[in-house]
Amino acid sequence: MTRYSSLLIAAALALTAVTAAQARPARTAAKTVTVTAGKPSEFMFVLSTKTVPHGTVTFKYTNKGKLAHDFSICTKPTTKAANACASKGTAAISPGKSATLTFTFAKAGTYEYICKVPGHAAAGMKGLLKVT
């Protein structure tokens, strides 16, 4: 009887461990977005995706244009693309160079991305990123 009780207890503990492991939420790997500036037009960004999950996102930015450009993410959600905002971004990157920007989106919403070099956002270097 003791051996049978020990087996039942061991089985119950194993089942509890499996259930607890399944109850923990899965960790989501950081999302990476490739950003290209200057191609196909000098005052344009091309993103590999325009929808990302909330949390930490890494932007791998390359300037393929002929002018220096930066890449910035506005810190607050918006409903339209403006030409300026409070943001976190890269320094101005020379043609042919690359930079990485890591940004943490605390909540879902629509966030603007822009080039903060004077006049570039007004010329079209801006867009909206959906965070789910």
User: What's the pLDDT score for residue 82?
Assistant: 87
Domain assignment present for residue 125? The answer is yes
Domain assignment present for residue 36? The answer is yes
Domain assignment present for residue 16? The answer is no
Domain assignment present for residue 66? The answer is yes
Domain assignment present for residue 110? The answer is yes
Question: What are the tens digits of pLDDT across the range 3-52?
Answer: 555 544 555 545 554 444 455 444 444 599 999 999 999 999 999 999 99
More confident residue, 27 or 98: 98
* Distance set, CA 41 to CA 20, 48, 61, 124 (Å): 52, 16, 16, 10
User: What's the pLDDT score for residue 14?
Assistant: 52
Is 65 in contact with 42 (CB distance < 8 Å)? yes
Question: What are the tens digits of pLDDT across the range 60-90?
Answer: 999 999 999 999 999 999 988 888 899 999 9
Domain of 121 in residue numbering reads as 31-131
DSSP code of 90?
Answer: P
- Specify the CATH number for the domain of residue 70: 2.60.40.420
Domain assignment present for residue 38? The answer is yes
Domain assignment present for residue 95? The answer is yes
Which residues are 73's β-sheet partners? 88, 113
DSSP code of 120?
Answer: T
Structure-block tokens of residue 103: 């940004």
Q: What are phi and psi of 82, to 5 degrees?
A: -105, -170
pTM: 0.76
Domain assignment present for residue 10? The answer is no
Q: Give the total number of structural domains in the chain.
A: 1
User: What's the pLDDT score for residue 81?
Assistant: 83
